[in-house]
Amino acid sequence: MYGFTGNLLRVDLTSAKITREKIPEDYLRDFLGGSGLAARYLYNEIPVEEDVFSENNKLFFSAGPLNGRHFPTSGRCCVACRSPLTGIWLDSVWSGKFSYNLKRAGLDAIIIEGKSPQPVYLYINNDDIQLKDASKIWGKVVSETVLNIFDECGHTRGSCCAIGPAGEKLVKLANIMGDTTRAAGRGGAGALMGSKKLKAIFVYGDKEPAVSDEEKWKEVIKEITKKINEQPVTKSLKAYGTGVAMAAASQTGDAPTKNWKLGTWDGYSKISGITMAQTILRKHSSPCHACPIHCARYVEIDEGPYAMKGEGPEYEALGSFGSMCLNDNLESIAYANMLCNEYGLDSISTGAAIAFAMEAFEKGIITHKDTDGIQLTWGNTEAIVALVKKIAKQEGIGDLLGQGVRKAAEVLGRGSEEFAVHVKGLELPMHDPRAFFGYAPTYATSPRGACHLHGYVGGYDGRGVMPEAGLIEPQDAHALTGKGFLAKIVQDYDSVVQSSIVCYFMTYGVGPGDLAKALSVATGIHYDAQTVLKIGERIFNLQRAFNNRLGITRKDDTLPKRVLTSTEGGPNEGYVPNLEEQLKEYYQLRGWEEDGKPSKEKLRELGLDFVIGDLYV
């Protein structure tokens, strides 16, 4: 089958047995790769009744049909599992060269099961595939781990994803890091990898995967690259990175401030991508593979307490360690972000947990006795950096915060639940549903908890269109109707984006019809805008069914009270999303029952008949 290798590698860490399997063609045709293929496998293979750290929880690494052949922004790879943080579905897409090499090693996916008795890493050099001893690199930070593996294997090319000390210690905010600085975050996949004693996966491949038509493939790459380059947002991302959005925060009110309480702050411009470009930015770091956008940042801080060199913070980290904590010291944010990359921690959830702790400290729910003397006052840069280390090392209060704000509030009590800002256990990303109402139903229903990427509505709400899905005119960001519709179509499209796999930032200029054309040329299967949106809907509903089996119902589709309350001041003061109305519209369009399950009719329509017996007993 063109566009795919058709091969899956199954690695049983308990027995150290490695086998190669053929992937059924209908899985690839109907679910593509990445997140969709992961859902198709893991729905069947992860038992719902066991602990998340059971050896039967599995990690599924997968590329998609557009990876491996220099398609624009195709340096993306997906990892999926049942989340150690939330207990429900988790998939996470990261950038770099992993999927490029995976496809060229003749593989679409790797499934990791069981637990190794001692630390190992998986080595894939085309057909030479082995588990190697990782005891010498166990305990090392991510960059050292990757350097050691490249040295030991004698490779200069290839790609490596690895966990840091946080994953080894099973910190539930732990990431898997790709090529040292690209994060597969949100939900603790790194902790699951740590529980399996799998330190890293190295992959190198040099076999070019076939596409159905070489000439048309070159044309479609040219066409899509042109569309991406024509988008004004491409220029600003190239110049200022994703942090450019922080510069507009005073106008948009999108950046959560003081743990989602305030609507305005005088620090946004001090930590924006524009300020970064004028101060610590040195040159653009190597972008993700085949990316014409180049949003990545390389920063250097020569001296002082936050001296560092390396990948700079993107918008999410500027929000979580910056505006959320009222910290306008850009250097300290870059440093905290670097620590997250090295320890292998999710910078969104880590910063959000620190902001939560600062509010608990302000309210006297925790005191300096709980923090080993750290004065957790707003904007205290030393405290922020110290807490990142404590979370990574599970020291003192860091042990509790590393379990996420839901658990921390459960343990602390005394009203802290009121300001523990999460959905289904996942801390909200740095986009405010009071600024863009479309985020409200998106966060409430996303399969991994509050997520701006399973429905990147920020690219549409108030500004964009998707005519193929019926969004002809941009919606008003505060419109009281239509947001259920917006959430659904963007979630469906993004399910395809992360199954193809390409970067969300290309979707500003590339719609479902464009992606369908590329998928058709890659695979030789005819896809059009409607068929790809249907694939997205199928994937989204299968992930929903995965969660339904774990007990997720309509009552879990909600938002924390803090974001259903007006901000204090700012451009969105007085605006609160009408979530219940939005969800009514959303449920109706989704064809979901009142208890939150996809209806039998919807499941049949999507070819998900195999789910019906599990959900309707």
Per CB under 6 A, residues contacting ligand SF4 are 73, 75, 95, 287-288, 291, 293-296, 503, 505
Q: Closest Cα partner for 59 from 7, 109, 118?
A: 109
**Is 53 exposed, middle or buried, given 0-12, 13-18 or 19+ CB atoms closer than 10 A?**
middle
Contact 285, 298 (CB under 8 A): yes
DSSP 92: E
Give the position of tokens 């009142």. 594
Based on CB atoms, which residue is closest to ligand SF4, 46 or 296? 296
Q: How far is the CB of 72 from ligand SF4 (least distance, A)?
A: 9
Residues ≥6 apart with Cβ < 8 Å to 452: 429, 431, 439, 442, 443, 458
Contact 300, 280 (CB under 8 A): yes
Residues ≥6 apart with Cβ < 8 Å to 24: none
Q: How far is the CB of 288 from ligand SF4 (least distance, A)?
A: 3
Based on CB atoms, which residue is closest to ligand SF4, 37 or 293? 293
Based on CB atoms, which residue is closest to ligand SF4, 110 or 295? 295
Quote the tokens at residue 444.
């409430």
Based on CB atoms, which residue is closest to ligand SF4, 296 or 583? 296
Burial track 74-87 (b if 16+ CB lie within 10 A, e otherwise): bbbbbbbbbbbbbb
Based on CB atoms, which residue is closest to ligand SF4, 96 or 438? 96
Q: Please provide the distance, in angstroms rounded to a whole number, between the alpha carbons at the two ends of the chain.
A: 37
Q: How far is the CB of 311 from ligand SF4 (least distance, A)?
A: 11
Q: Closest Cα partner for 137 from 59, 202, 200, 204?
A: 200
Q: How far is the CB of 453 from ligand SF4 (least distance, A)?
A: 11
Q: How far is the CB of 290 from ligand SF4 (least distance, A)?
A: 8
User: Residue 402, Cα to own-chain centre: how many angstroms?
Assistant: 18
Q: Closest Cα partner for 5 from 34, 30, 28?
A: 28
Q: How far is the CB of 82 from ligand SF4 (least distance, A)?
A: 26
Contact 392, 398 (CB under 8 A): yes
Based on CB atoms, which residue is closest to ligand SF4, 75 or 119? 75
Task: For residue 471, report the phi and psi dihedrals to the nearest 5 degrees.
Answer: -95, 95
Give the position of tokens 């010291």. 329
Q: How far is the CB of 565 from ligand SF4 (least distance, A)?
A: 33
Based on CB atoms, which residue is closest to ligand SF4, 67 or 272? 67
Torsion of CA 168, 143, 343, 67, to 10 degrees: -80
Torsion of CA 503, 507, 510, 513, to 10 degrees: 100
Q: How far is the CB of 314 from ligand SF4 (least distance, A)?
A: 8
Q: How far is the CB of 297 from ligand SF4 (least distance, A)?
A: 10
Q: How far is the CB of 95 from ligand SF4 (least distance, A)?
A: 4
Q: In sequence order, what DSSP letters do the residues of 531-570 get, joined into one string?
A: HHHHHHHHHHHHHHHHHHHTT--GGGS---GGGGS--BSS
Q: How far is the CB of 294 from ligand SF4 (least distance, A)?
A: 6
Based on CB atoms, which residue is closest to ligand SF4, 115 or 284? 284
Query: Which H/E stretch holds residue 486?
Result: helix 483-500
Based on CB atoms, which residue is closest to ligand SF4, 290 or 412? 290
Based on CB atoms, which residue is closest to ligand SF4, 30 or 316? 316
Based on CB atoms, which residue is closest to ligand SF4, 62 or 73? 73
Q: Is the dihedral of CA 13, 17, 23, 24 positive or negative?
A: negative
